[in-house]
Structure 1
Amino acid sequence: MSETHTILVTGGTGTLGRLVTERLRAAGHEVRVLSRSARPHAVDLRKGGPGLDAALAGVDTVVHCASSPRGGDEDAARNLVAAAGRAGVTHLVYISIVGVDRVPLPYYRAKHAVERIVERSGIGWTVLRTTQFHDLVHQVLATLAKSPVMPVPSGVADQPIEVAEVADRLAALAVGAPAGRVPDMGGPEVRDFADLARAYFAATGRRRPLLPVRLPGKTYRGFAAGGHLAPERAVGKGTFEDFLATRPA
């Protein structure tokens, strides 16, 4: 019989964390879910507190999925690492993003800073970087499509990946030994953003003229240069069209 673990998943009610939790529980592990609203472990990681210590009591592995583009990730990571050290956690698994060290988007910089906090924690650690989830690309396209003329970033490609495949990988890493920085995961195809927009319209039956837009600044240049892509790690299987086929038009 394989070894069972007591695992805490931060952000365990989110798009990725929920799937990781399901996979680990299905494999027979004891899994606790921590988020700002999940009972009995409703904790704001940015503030820490005794609730965090209680959630970590007896835990051997933490899968850190909680994150917010609105800020606070670094404070949350420091609080988590400190509490995990007190609890005797032996493995900290962190999900990051391809390009956090190449594209100067503030959110990416914060994710890169959290990587360094994890690496210097004194706890055995594993970091997995992936390209953007299909869900995020769909959300961006749906927002842009609200305009009668849809702006699309000129010269920018993406490499979306199926979140369920990332959850499979993250769950496997969680029950293994600390592995440091593991190989990146990229989606199966690098696609021009306009091409992804056309796929979105084909699936939803909508039409919009596309307006290529080029923006100033280092962040845009980083995306245009493909800093967020991992074409050499196109290990994902599900395409954007596969994802769209599962959603109601």
Structure 2
Amino acid sequence: MTTILVTGGTGTLGRLVTERLRADGHEVRVLSRRSRPYAVDLREGGGALDAALDGVDTVVHCATSPRGGDERAATNLIAAALRAGVRHLVYISIVGVDRVPLGYYRSKLTVERLVEASGLGWTVLRATQFHDLAVRLLDALAKPPVMVLPAGVSDQPVEVAEVADRLAGLAVGEPAGRVPDLAGPEVRTLESLARAYLRATGRRRAVVSVPLAGKAYRGFRAGGHLAPARAVGKRTFEEYLAVRFGRGDGDGRRG
């Protein structure tokens, strides 16, 4: 069995990838800023990163931060992986990073290009947003008595466990380059997701959609972050809500 290092291995996705790989008998090292014995800040690199990569065959790069620093982290990781003789670098990206002009998406696209030019064997998977991220957004929007949504925007949330399964499979395979996107089973309006969330949580809110300004909003409204042709995910948003909140009504197709 191979030795695999998972960056961001204590996060929402990385933890599940680690569990899948260990269940299949692989030796997995978990790298994060606070996870011993491989506590490393990728933005700083250094000897601790070299030690974490010593003897590693494959890296699954899940570590990321919307607050910035992904490019520096990837640069340090790639340099250390080359020194260590890593065979395969697997990177998880986001559907639409090349179509929606959002700062975080641009950073993810830059990292994709760094991975592709690294000289390592590489695989890049793009996925749509996870169900739990949609819920975190809706949690925040539901705090006021009126839930204000950006008008005309849809989403295609996917189950994080399904993405983890796909990444784990890619990690034990050969470098495959850019693989087909992984998207959730349904393209849904934000309003329909918000109403499903309100039903599942038992909240009562007025829901209002308003147009916004800016290039990023126009990119989302145009559906740049969607992949309807790759709607291969299985778990729907309602099914996720039913498990998380225990109140889902199973009403499957809206908007």
Normalising by structure 2, report the TM-score. Answer: 0.96
Q: Which residue of 2 aligns with 1:37?
A: 34
Amino acid at match of 2:219: G
Identify which of 242, 245, 248 aligns with 1:248: 245
Aligned residues: 246
Q: CA deviation at 1:248?
A: 3.1
Kindly report the root-mean-square deviation, in angstroms, between the aligned alpha carbons of the 2 structures: 0.6
Give the counterpart of 2:74 among 77, 81, 93.
Answer: 77
What pairs with 1:117-196 in structure 2 (closer than 5 Å)?
Answer: 117-196=114-193
Cα separation, 1, equivalents of 2:211 and 2:27? 48
Which range moves more in the overlay, 219-228 or 207-216?
207-216
Matching residue's letter, 2:138: L
AA at the equivalent of 1:97: I
Residue equivalent to 1:106: 103
Hey, what's the Cα distance between the residues in 1 that align with 2:241 and 2:46? 41
Q: Percent identity?
A: 75
Q: TM-score, normalised to structure 1's length?
A: 0.98
For residues 201 and 121 of structure 2, the distance between their equivalents in structure 1, rounded to whole angstroms, comes to 45
CA distance in 1, matches of 2:85, 2:227: 35
The one-letter amino acid of 1:121's match is S
Residue 53 (1) aligns with residue 50 (2): yes
Contiguous gaps of at least 5 residues in structure 1: none
Cα deviation, 1:36-63, whole Å, max 9, x if unaligned, reads 0100000000010110000000000000
Q: How far off its partner does 1:214 sit? A: 1.2
The CA deviation at 1:121 is 0.4
1:16 maps to 13
For 1:50 and 1:194, the matched residues in 2 are separated by: 49
Q: Does 1:239 align with 2:236?
A: yes
Distance 2:194 2:185 in 1: 17
Return the letter of the residue paired with 1:227: G
Q: CA deviation at 1:113?
A: 0.1
SS in 1 for 2:244: coil
Q: How far did 1:211 drift?
A: 1.4
**Ranges in structure 2 where 5+ consecutive residues have no aligned partner:** 247-255
- Matched letter for residue 219 of structure 1: A
Could you tell me which amino acid in structure 2 is paired with residue 141 of structure 1? L
